Amino acid sequence: MKKSSKSVLPVAGHDHVQGSIDAPLALVEYGDYQCPYCGEANAVVKEIQERLGDQLCYVFRNFPLQEIHPYAEHAAEAAEAAGAQGRFWEMHDVLFENQNALDDDDLSAYAAELDLDAKRLVLEVRNSAHAARIREDYRSGERNGVSGTPTFFINGTLYDGEPDVSDLIAALTERAA
């Protein structure tokens, strides 16, 4: 599949964004909550955010690999359901911190821990209330050559290096220059 060179940018009003959408550096990640590499990348992103501060806009898009991660779709649904209650990023972090416990009972417990309406969240997860949003993220990834997770784009361009702090910061810095 042809990889896009300049189309994966943050979308105001659609994407889950940390930082200013107008920041000079944009890091878009396609990820899967059950993927252990995405779990490692989450810690890397946090370090990068800490180092770059206001210079960075970070976006997470769902790319659940259901064939190998059977809980990934429901975890993505839980993150989106939490987002509907104004707590996407909190659930995002909890899911990555608990990648080995992502069944519906676990998701309900996390919702309760975050003071969310747990019954509503589980109902939305079970009814795939946010499936269209997740599919939209997934399809945008496919259109741009994403085949595995995590996949990063820097200022709209595919990043093909290692997802570690020093390499990603070097690539971000290079794009800023």
3-class state of residue 155 by DSSP: coil
Contact 168, 152 (CB under 8 A): yes
Tell me the pTM: 0.94
Helical spans, DSSP H, in the chain: 36-52, 72-84, 88-97, 104-113, 118-126, 131-143, 165-176
Structure confidence at residue 2 (pLDDT): 37
pLDDT, tens digit (0-9, with 9 covering 90-100), for 51-75 = 999 999 999 999 999 999 999 999 9
Shortest CA distance to 141 belongs to which of 12, 149, 26?
149
Q: Are 84 and 124 in contact (CB under 8 A)?
A: yes
Q: What are phi and psi of 165, to 5 degrees?
A: -60, -55
Which structure tokens are listed for 153?
């784009």
pLDDT of residue 1: 35
Residue 116 in this model has a pLDDT that exceeds 50: yes
Q: Are 121 and 111 in contact (CB under 8 A)?
A: yes
Say how far residue 91 (Cα) sits from the centre of its chain: 11
Query: Half-sphere exposure of residue 57, counting CA atoms within 13 Å on the CB side?
Result: 21
What span, in angstroms and rounded, lies between the C-alpha atoms of 52 and 26?
11
- Calpha distance 34→53 (Å, rounded): 27
> Among residues 51, 54, 9, which one has the least CA distance to residue 28?
9
User: Does residue 4 have a pLDDT over 50?
Assistant: no
Per-residue model confidence as pLDDT tens digits over 142-171: 999 999 999 999 999 999 999 999 999 999
* pLDDT score of 7 more than 70: no
The CATH class given to the 25-176 domain equals: alpha beta
Listed by start position, the domains of the chain span 25-176
